[in-house]
């Protein structure tokens, strides 16, 4: 987790490339997601955390994004993984992007255009 300064009421966003692989198990056993605590808290289980969908991506790197509105003077970004396949698992995060205010694009996929 990492906490960033924000202005209450301003847009916030985070995104990261993810890649997963598992041996055995079933779809979704090995997955990644990104979350935002809109008030700057540090508990990933808090009600104020907004999460992206769980993403499993065994064939290629895939961007995962989430956006919301800051409710206080800071916000916290969480990267979370799930490894439940019975044999072995790989979960990878790379090249995270965190934005606030006017820098947040309307289309979050714009965070990953190089």
Q: What is the pLDDT of residues 58-71, one digit of tens each?
A: 989 999 999 999 99
Residue 84 domain-assigned (yes or no): yes
Q: Is residue 74 part of a domain?
A: yes
pLDDT at 88: 87
The predicted pLDDT at position 94 comes to 96
- Residue 110 inside a domain? The answer is no
Number of separate domains in the chain: 1
The whole-chain average pLDDT of the chain stands at 93
Distant-in-sequence, close-in-space partners of 9: CB < 8 Å, separation ≥ 6: 69, 70
Which domain covers residue 70, as residue numbers? 2-102
pLDDT band at 114 (very low <50, low <70, confident <90, very high): low
The confidence band for 21, taking pLDDT boundaries of 50, 70 and 90, is very high
Query: Apex CA 45: angle with CA 78 and CA 41, to 5°?
Result: 60
d(CA 84, CA 87): 9
Is residue 108 assigned to a domain?
A: no
Is 28 part of any domain? yes
Domain annotation covers residue 27 = yes
Q: Where residue 27 sits, what CATH number does that domain have?
A: 2.60.120.260
- For residue 109, is it within any domain? no
Domain-located, residue 91? yes
């Amino acid at each position: 987790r990492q906490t960033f300064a924000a202005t209450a009421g301003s847009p916030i966003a985070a995104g990261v490339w993810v890649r997963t692989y598992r041996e055995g198990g079933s779809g979704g056993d090995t997955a990644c997601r990104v979350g935002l605590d809109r008030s700057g808290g540090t508990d990933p289980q808090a009600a104020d955390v907004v999460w992206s969908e769980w993403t499993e991506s065994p064939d290629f790197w895939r961007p995962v994004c989430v956006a919301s509105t800051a409710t206080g003077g800071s916000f916290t970004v969480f990267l979370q993984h799930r490894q439940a396949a019975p044999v072995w698992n790989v979960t990878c995060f790379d090249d995270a992007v965190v934005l606030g205010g006017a820098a947040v694009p309307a289309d979050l996929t714009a965070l990953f255009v190089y």
